Structure 1
Amino acid sequence: MNWHAVRAIYRFEMARTFRTITQSIASPVLSTSLYFVVFGAAIGSRMGEVDGISYGAFIIPGLIMLSILNESLSNASFGIYMPKWAGTIYELLSAPVGWGEAVLGYVGAAASKSMMLGILILATARLFVPYEIAHPVWMVLFLMLTALSFSLFGFIIGLWANDFQKLQVIPLMIVTPLTFLGGAFYSIDMLPPVWQKIALFNPVVYLISGFRWSFYGVADVNVVVSFSAILVFLAACLTAVWWIFRTGWRLRN
C-alpha cells in the first residue's frame, strides 16, 4: 500500500475544501438551518408528535441524511472528474498508485468532508430543536458508512460523467427525489398501505430509518435490515470501482 500517495491525494482534496469553505461547508449548513427554521420551528410547533417524538426532532436524522447524501456525491464526483477534465488523470494512472490508493485518497476525503458537515448540522440543530441520541455509537457508525458508501457512488459518477452536466443528473434527478420520498420528513407508516409497500423499494428508506433509530429507538424498517442494506450497497460500489480501474472504462478513453 502506497500511503504516501493516499496522503497526498487526501491532503490535496481536503485543502480544496478549506479553500472554498463557504461553498463546501457554510452553504449546506445554512441551507439545512433554513429547513430547521421552517419545518422544525414554524411548522413543527403546530404539528403533533410522530411516533412519540416532536416533529422538529423527528426530521433531524432525515435532514442530516439529505445533506450527507448530496454532499458525498458532489464532493467525490467532482474530485475525480476534475483530473479527467484537466487531463491529469493520466499522471495518476501512470504513477505507482493502485486503484485502492486512489479510492482511499479521493473517497476518504469526500467522506471526511461529509462527516464534518453532518456533525456541524447536528450541532446546529441543537439551536432550534432539543433532541437526544439513544445509540450514539450506532449513530456514528451509520453516519460513517453512509458517507463512505455514497462517496464511493459519487466517485463512480465522476468516472462515468464526460461533462459537467452529467455530474448533476443522478444527484438531482434520482438521489434527491428518493431522499425526499424516503421518509426524511415523515414516517412511511403515515402512508396508505399500498404506498408503504412501494416505499420499501426505495433504498434511501433503509438509510434514514436506521439513522433515525440510532437517535430515538424507533424505525420504519428493522435496524438489522437497514445496516445490511448499507453494507450491500458499499460492497456493490467497491466492486464497481474495482471493475472500472481493472478495465479502464471511462478512464483511458
Structure 2
Amino acid sequence: MNLHAVRAIYRFEMARTFRTLAESILAPVLTTSLYFVVFGAAIGGRMGEIEGVSYGAFIIPGLVMLSLLAESVSNASFGIYLPKWSGTIYELLSAPVSTFEIVLGYVGAAATKSVMLGVLILITARFFVPYEIQHPVWMVGFLLLTAISFSLFGFIIGVWADSFQKLQVVPLMVVTPLTFLGGSFYSIHMLPPLWQKIALFNPVVYLVSGFRWSFYGISDVDPMLSVLAILGFLALCMGGIFWIFRTGYKLKA
C-alpha cells in the first residue's frame, strides 16, 4: 500500500478543515447547542420521560446522528468534488495510487471530521443535559460505522455531482428529512400503528435506534437489525465506489 499517498490526501483534507474551523466544526456545534436549548430545556422541561429517560437526554443520540450524517456526506462529497471542479483529479488518477488508497484518504479524513464533531457534540451536551452510556463499545462502533458509511455515500455524491448546487440536493432533500423522520426527536412507538410500519422503511430509524440503545438500552427496533442495516449500507456504498472506478463514471470523461 502506498501509505505516503494516503497520508498526503488525508493531511490535505484535514488541513482544509482546520483552515475553515468555524464553518466545519464550530457552526454545527453551535447549531446543535440551540437544539439542546430549545428542545432539551424549553420543551423538554414540559414533557414527561420517554421509556424512563428524560426528553432532553432522549434526543442526544438523535442530535448526534443528525449532525453525523449531514457532516459525513458534506465533507466527503465536497472533498472529492473540489479536485473534479479544479481539474486536479486527473493528476490523482494518473498517479501511482490505487482506488483503495484514494478512497481511504478522502473517506478517512471525512469520517475523522465527523467523529470529531460527534464527540464535541457529546461533550457539549454535558453542559445542558445529564446522560449515561450503558454500552460504550457499541456506541463507538455505531459512531465509526455510521461516519464511514455516510462518508462513502458522500464520496459517491461528490463524484455524481457536476455543480456545487447538486452537492446540496441529496443532503437537504433526502438525508436531513429522513433523519428528522427517523426518530431523532421521538420514539416511533409514539406514532399511530400505520405510521409505525411506514417508519420502518426509513433506514435512518435503524441507525438512530441502535445508537440510542447504546446509550440507554432502549430501542425502537432490535439492535442487531440496526447493525445489519448499517453493514448492508456500508457494503452497498463500497460496491458503488468500486463500480465508479471500474467504469470511470464522471471521472475519466
Shift of 1:194: 0.2
Query: 2:250 and 2:173 mapped to 1: Cα distance?
Result: 22
Q: Which residue of 2 aligns with 1:31?
A: 31
Alignment correspondent of 1:134: 134
Match of 2:176 in 1: 176
Q: Percent identity?
A: 77
Paired position in structure 1 for 2:233 = 233
AA matched with 1:93: L
Per the TM alignment, residue 153 of structure 1 is displaced from its structure 2 partner at its CA by 0.2
Which runs of 5 or more structure 2 residues have no equivalent in the other structure?
Answer: none
Q: Who is 1:144 aligned against?
A: 144
Q: CA deviation at 1:58?
A: 0.1
Which amino acid in 2 is paired with 1:29? V
For residues 56-82 of structure 1, give each alpha carbon's deviation from its aligned partner in whole angstroms, at most 9, with x where no partner exists. Answer: 000000000000000000000000000
2:69 aligned residue = 69
RMSD of the TM alignment (CA)?
Answer: 0.4
After TM superposition, list the pairs within 5 Å mapping 1:181-220 onto structure 2.
181-220=181-220
| 1:117, distance to aligned residue in structure 2 (A) | 0.2
For 1:95-114, list aligned pairs within 5 A: 95-114=95-114
2:20 maps to amino acid: T
Residues in 2 aligned to 1:40 and 1:96: alpha-carbon distance in whole angstroms: 51
Q: CA deviation at 1:141?
A: 0.4
Q: After superposition, what is the alpha-carbon deviation per residue over 1:105-150, rounded to whole angstroms, capped at 9, x for unaligned?
A: 0000000000000000000000000000000010000000000000
Give CA deviations for 1:149-196 in whole Å, capped at 9, x if unaligned: 000000000000000110000000011000000000000000000000
TM-score (norm 2): 1.00
The Cα shift of 1:233 comes to 0.3
Distance 1:144 1:51 in 2: 26
SS of structure 2 residue aligned to 1:195: helix
C-alpha displacement of 1:199: 0.2
**3-state secondary structure, aligned to 1:104:** helix
Structure 1 residues 38-92: Cα deviation after superposition (integer angstroms, max 9, x where no partner)? 0001110110001110000000000000000000000000000000000000000
| Structure 2 counterpart of 1:242 | 242
Give the aligned length: 253
TM (norm. structure 1) is 1.00
Q: Distance in 2 between matches of 1:56 and 1:222?
A: 23
Match of 2:86 in 1: 86
Partner of 1:44: 44
Question: Distance between the aligned counterparts of 1:214 and 1:47, measured in 2?
Answer: 23
Cα distance between partner residues in 2 of 1:3 and 1:11? 12
CA distance in 1, matches of 2:100, 2:242: 8
Instruction: Write the distance in 2 (CA, Å) between the matches of 1:64 and 1:112.
Output: 15
